[in-house]
Amino acid sequence: MSRTPLDTVEHAAATPDVELPWAELGLKKDEYERVVEILGRRPTGAELAMYSVMWSEHCSYKSSKVHLRQFGEKAPENDAMLVGIGENAGVVDVGQGYAVTFKVESHNHPSYVEPYQGAATGVGGIVRDIIAMGARPVAVVDPLRFGAADHPDTKRVLPGVVAGIGGYGNCLGLPNIGGEVVFDACYQGNPLVNAGAIGVMRHEDIHLAKASGAGNKVILYGARTGGDGIGGASILASETFDDAKPSKRPAVQVGDPFQEKLLIECTLEAFKEKLVVGIQDLGAAGLSCATSELASNGSGGMRVTLDDVPLRDSTLSPEEILMSESQERMCAVVEPEKVDRFLEICEKWDVIATVIGEVTDGDRLEIYWHGGKIVDVDPRTVAHEGPVYERPYARPSWQDELQADDANKLPRPETSEELKDQVLKLVGSPNQASKSWITSQYDHFVQGNTVLAQPEDSGMIRIDEETGLGVAIATDGNGRYAKLDPYHGAQLALAEAYRNVATTGAKPLAVSDCLNFGSPEDPAVMWQFAEAVRGLADACQQLGTPVTGGNVSLYNQTGEAAIHPTPVVAVLGVIDDVARRTPVAFQEEGQLLYLLGDTREEFGGSAWSQVIHDHLGGLPPKVDLERERLLAEILISASRDGMIDSAHDLSDGGLIQAVVESALLGGKGARLIVPDGLDAFTFLFSESAGRAIVAVPRSEEVRFNDMCGARGLPATRIGVVDGDTVEVQGEFTLTLSELREAHEGTIPALLA
């Protein structure tokens, strides 16, 4: 066996003609040429490894960057924003000295390949982002999208994903308080596994990913580094460096939630003692990302000795070590006199911690291996100055035809009997059915601060036991709306999440998003992306809720077929006293039901059109953001002043879906009267946005009506909480047990 000489910087300079496998690592020719130009020589193998992962679509946002800028350019003035886009997660001031950090990310591709580990490590990654900001993670949410509910592969993917989220999150001790589960054939080969997390800290505890102060030590702690999660590196390793080693590692990482739990506690303890100058978690691109980002965000350079990285597999090459995405690792920058204490805390928690380098007063990132310098780069060129693409985009030729296929013209139920049948079909359809078979596999009690959890409109966590201060989070997205009109579809996703937060009584503050799309190389997909980002940025500006961070997932596409454009939007809200929260469930018989907002004939992209007609066409519901804002203000005031006892937002499935959910959760029925000017069908199934139903105690009716009247919000009395049936007067009556059977039986029958 012949051993290739170590590819040091010196060696690279002396051997300009050595061919490197840049194409196999996913770099384009011009990108590789740019690396050569930046360095003034060919890169070493290790440098190539770093550039290739950091300049990947996933890490560099090279296709999406030019559009994402709008989130910054159009960001509304918002005093609550403490840390914006660009850090591990955004941070928002929620009052009383508390700050909250939150973010949503995707783990779509790995979850299709290996559902359990893909989903589990998705949770792990987002939680580390939260810890890296200095916060204690307090809750997770999981917006999930799968192929058709009755497709055999869904039965492989969904239970694995759910078990992975549960297996990891439950073991970390994080309550799972929200999210969504949506089925649509368009996600068959590309399930969307998005994961969100919230963390809480005091203002003074905010930490950033930067390495400052020459002489400060760089400490890698957590799990040992293994060969898992290396994508292209295996090719690099087997073709260029050493033939005799294991290669072709699995590309999906393997999670160890126990290790992550220790990492959380040990990191928080180090923060508490103020031992940490800068910190970064190791996620995508592993050490390549952590070292280059820490160094480029700091004031100096960094020198790292790769030999000191604790390994699970001693045969790993330096390139593999740099690219490994082994989970449960973090990198901290610590002043020299505090290193001993930091290592002591790690030891207390049985966490391996090793000094692997130090901050220098130069401006280079230098990495050594076996005494040779194998990386010598300006870290900014790796982390921040990657390629930027202006991908061509064009409105697809089929868009007009799709929009012309008007759902409002579909045949409607002609008799009361037919209407009743369709109600049962709708509330029992996989998308509208109860997801408790799934959510009961997640711990939502742990930490003892959960005020609301799914199926409530938003999850709510108390963050101060004395004052009752709390935060709420809702995630929403509707790929069907976005397919019909990506600009307004994205706005509807925001509007729904915003409304869901307000429905529980919390004031919406800020936004995180996970933008799931097909291939950016398809101009039609790129148009959907551009439109969705523009729509979301415009709407955030108008609602005054800035985007604090998020994630883009592209290439969710099998062959020519892309998923529906699916922007998933998370809205974070704050509530002064969680005792004032409003639940979905009907509380007391005799309370009056009011419909807030305007109901129009809007069925494009609706659940009704999907369930009854398997149809997708027309236009999504009209967006009126000023109305959304007014509705939110009314819901929050009504909650604060004790004027409503339950509330539910109206979205997919329309009013009847909301009434049935509130009735089943509360174990109390409702008598409904179709208001003047509406037909029963439109009343029950329309998906007009900007609406909610509320239950008003009779003693509050006058006050509530006066408030809505004075503010100009249409409020229509539509019935009363009563009995053990849902009755639409003059049309039909369904018992709660009939409804429960339809609503709660579907998912277990398909998946259990």
Partner 1 sequence: MTARIGVVTFPGSLDDRDTQRAIRLAGAEPVALWHKDKDLKQVDAVVLCGGFSYGDYLRAGAIARFSPVMEPLIEQAKAGLPVLGICNGFQILTEAHLLPGTMLRNNHLHFICRDQKLRVENAETAWTTDYTAGQEIHIPLKNIDGQYVADEHTLDELEAEGRVAFRYVDFNPNGSQRDIAGVTNAAGNVVGLMPHPEHAVEPLIGSGRTDGLPFFTSILKKLVNA
Tokens of 575: 């509530």
By C-alpha distance, which of 293, 269, 284 is closest to 218? 293
Is the CB of 77 or the CB of 466 nearer to partner 1? 466
Residues in the chain: 752
| Catalytic position from the list 107, 564, 615, 743 | 107
Is the CB of 35 or the CB of 174 nearer to partner 1? 174
CB of 193 to partner 1, least distance (A): 18
Q: Which residues contact partner 1 by CB under 8 A?
A: 163, 166-167, 170-173, 256-259, 261-262, 349-350, 439-451, 462, 465, 578-579, 581, 752
The distance between the two most distant Cα atoms of the chain, rounded to a whole number of Å, is 89
CB of 440 to partner 1, least distance (A): 5
Distance from C-alpha of 445 to C-alpha of 452, rounded to nearest angstrom: 10
Distance from C-alpha of 307 to C-alpha of 373, rounded to nearest angstrom: 12
By C-alpha distance, which of 573, 565, 499 is closest to 535? 565
107 counts as catalytic: yes
For residue 455, whether the previous peptide bond is cis, meaning omega lies within 30 degrees of 0, is: yes
CB of 470 to partner 1, least distance (A): 10
Distance from C-alpha of 494 to C-alpha of 697, rounded to nearest angstrom: 30
Is the CB of 98 or the CB of 442 nearer to partner 1? 442
58 counts as catalytic: yes
By C-alpha distance, which of 141, 159, 140 is closest to 149? 159
Is the CB of 280 or the CB of 454 nearer to partner 1? 454
| Catalytic position from the list 11, 58, 67, 488 | 58
* DSSP line for 186-209: GGSSS-EEEEEEEEEEEGGG---S
Residue 372: C-alpha distances to residues 8, 11, 464 (Å) = 6, 10, 52
Packed helices 115-132 and 152-172: angle between N→C axes, nearest 10 degrees: 40
Is the CB of 351 or the CB of 607 nearer to partner 1? 351
Amino acid 561 reads A
CB of 350 to partner 1, least distance (A): 6
Buried b (16+ CB within 10 A) or exposed e, 33-52: ebbeebbebbbbbbbbbbbb
Is the CB of 441 or the CB of 733 nearer to partner 1? 441
Distance from C-alpha of 117 to C-alpha of 419, rounded to nearest angstrom: 44
CB of 461 to partner 1, least distance (A): 10
CB of 441 to partner 1, least distance (A): 5
Which helix (DSSP H) or strand (DSSP E) does residue 340 occupy?
Answer: helix 339-348
Which helix (DSSP H) or strand (DSSP E) does residue 126 occupy?
Answer: helix 115-132
Is the CB of 134 or the CB of 167 nearer to partner 1? 167
CB of 579 to partner 1, least distance (A): 6
Distance from C-alpha of 591 to C-alpha of 215, rounded to nearest angstrom: 67
CB of 101 to partner 1, least distance (A): 20
Buried b (16+ CB within 10 A) or exposed e, 145-157: bbbbbebeebeeb
Is the CB of 348 or the CB of 370 nearer to partner 1? 348
* DSSP line for 471-529: EEEEEE--HHHHHH-HHHHHHHHHHHHHHHHHHTTPEEEEEEEEEE-S-TTSHHHHHHH
Evaluate whether 296 touches 384 at the Cβ level (below 8 Å). yes
CB of 442 to partner 1, least distance (A): 6
By C-alpha distance, which of 297, 353, 294, 374 is closest to 9? 374
Is the CB of 173 or the CB of 387 nearer to partner 1? 173
Is the CB of 444 or the CB of 507 nearer to partner 1? 444
CB-count burial class (<10 Å; 0-12, 13-18, 19+) for 467: middle
CB of 241 to partner 1, least distance (A): 34
By annotation, the residues acting in catalysis are 58, 107
